[in-house]
Structures are given as structure tokens and as C-alpha cells.
Structure 1
Amino acid sequence: MGEEREGGTVEAEVIGATAEQVWSFLDFSLLDKVAPIMASCTIVEGSTGEPGCIRYCETKPIPSPAGGDPIVMRVKERLLAIDHALKTFSYEVTENNIGARGYIGNVKVYGKDEGGGCRIEWSFSAESFGVSTPEAVGQFLQVLLQGIVQSIEQASTKGGP
């Protein structure tokens, strides 16, 4: 039997942009263009945006989940699935420098029926979070997501990605 998984979900509202507009910003290879906390994000294997492609991402220095000096998180992530009609994608972490094992993330954009805007939901689970915890990963993803939302809202007032 497999190990028990832990995880969580973070979400954020986007004001002034439709789900379609927000989806256009969530390109798997361009995370560093919309997430201020990211230093770089590059496709290192496969075709951009196609399931199976792998991206390598590095954060800017961030507080260590274990305490102490700031760290630069380094991860390789494989796109598992993407559905443009449903505005969702899933990915797995294949390599990282914090000891996480079996990490899977899912990102989905939901439109609002009334009042415009939309909501981004980012769920995650892992067999082990290494030197981190599910709560710390959730806090990191919330900061990441808030940065993405701010970038999207600023860009959407200027007309696009």
C-alpha cells in the first residue's frame, strides 16, 4: 500500500479579469514572468505546454522552511495533464532541493457567474514534504499565488500578458 499523502489548497480571487484572460497568463513555462518570487523558469525537456514537458524553476531567496538562512528553492516539475477548455493543469515535482517526495500540484481557474473576475485554486499533496510541512508549503503557495494575481491584475489593466 502507498504512503499516506498530506496536502492542502490555496486560492485567490482575481478582480477585473475573466477566467479566459487569467488562463492566458498561466503558461507552464512562464511562471517567472507572473510570479515575482520566482527568479527563473525554463522548459528543459519536451515541448512547451505539452504533457510530459519538464520545467526547471528557481525562487529568489526565501525564508527557509526549517529556519535559519534564506534558501533558493530549485525544482524540476513535469506537466502531467492540461485541459484548456476546463482551464486546469496538473504537475509533479521530479527533483527538488528541500527533500519533498511525491509532490503533485493542480491549478484550476474558475469563472464567476456574476460580477466578473475569477478564482484561481492551487491544490497540492505529497508523500513527504522533506524539511518543510504541508502548512509551510501552503503558505509559500499562497504568497506565490498572491504575486501571480497582482501581476495579472496589473497586466490586465494594460491589455494582456
Structure 2
Amino acid sequence: MTRKQRRLILIGSSLGVLAIAVALVLGSLRDSIVFFNSPTDIADNKAAVGKRVRLGGMVKMGSLEHGDNLQVRFAVTDGNKDIPVSYRGIVPDLFREGQGVIAEGHVEPGGTFQAETVLAKHDENYMPREVVETLKKQGRWQETAAPNAVPVKASAQ
């Protein structure tokens, strides 16, 4: 065997081991990635009942209700559809009606979203990129409403 052949075998086997390592890493991450779903996606049954998903949109005006034992009920809207959300726990200080929100949890058989985590925007003009994209697709995005929101790249489509 010549030096050139040994070098090619070494490079080929190294690339093979690297490919296997990448495949194992991506396979293990697939189950832990939580994708963003809009209320329209969930209403159209794109999120399986009981499967952990991330719901994003705006807290619908007039829908926020505080109950006993830190129970909070509200609706998340994308301007097209509304999803009722039930959450038990302390909501972030910046959580309020008309503001952007991301809720992580699962859809119950009745269509209510049972949130395990609620995240609110962090300043006056921030809105999650996924929410901005959804609002732009529906033609409901107003650039002057949130001038410092996360910009949407045209190539992200």
C-alpha cells in the first residue's frame, strides 16, 4: 500500500466517523427541539394532542382572568384564530393583555392549551421573530407599532 492510498483511507474513515457523530447528535436533538406554533396552526390541528409544543402570539384583550391558587386563564391570538390557555403559576411581571407571549405546554383534547411555562416580552418593542413572521404573512404587521422588533429576513422563508 502506498502513502497516498493510506492517506486516502485515513481521510475517508475520518469523514465516515464524523458523519456518524453528526447523525447521532442530530438524532438526539430531534426530540428535544420545540417548534413555534401560531394559534392558527394549533386550531388547524397541526399540533398533536398531548405533544409538547410552543404557542406564540398576542394575549387577547379582555381575555385575562386570574383565579385561585395562581390559576391564570387567557387567550392567545394571531389576529386570525384564538386559543384558550390555562396556566398555573406566577406569570412574568411584563405579562399583560395586548402583549407578545410564548407559552410552552400541550394541547388538551378539548382544544385548550395547558401551559407549563409562560414567557413575556422583555421590553416595550420586542416581539418574537416567529410572531412577527406570522403577522406579516397575514398582512396584519404594522412596522410603526413595534419599530425595534426583531427584523425578519427575506431569505428566512
Provide the TM-score with structure 1 as the length reference. Answer: 0.30
More helix by share: 2
Q: Which has the higher strand share?
A: 1
Q: Which has the larger radius of gyration?
A: 2
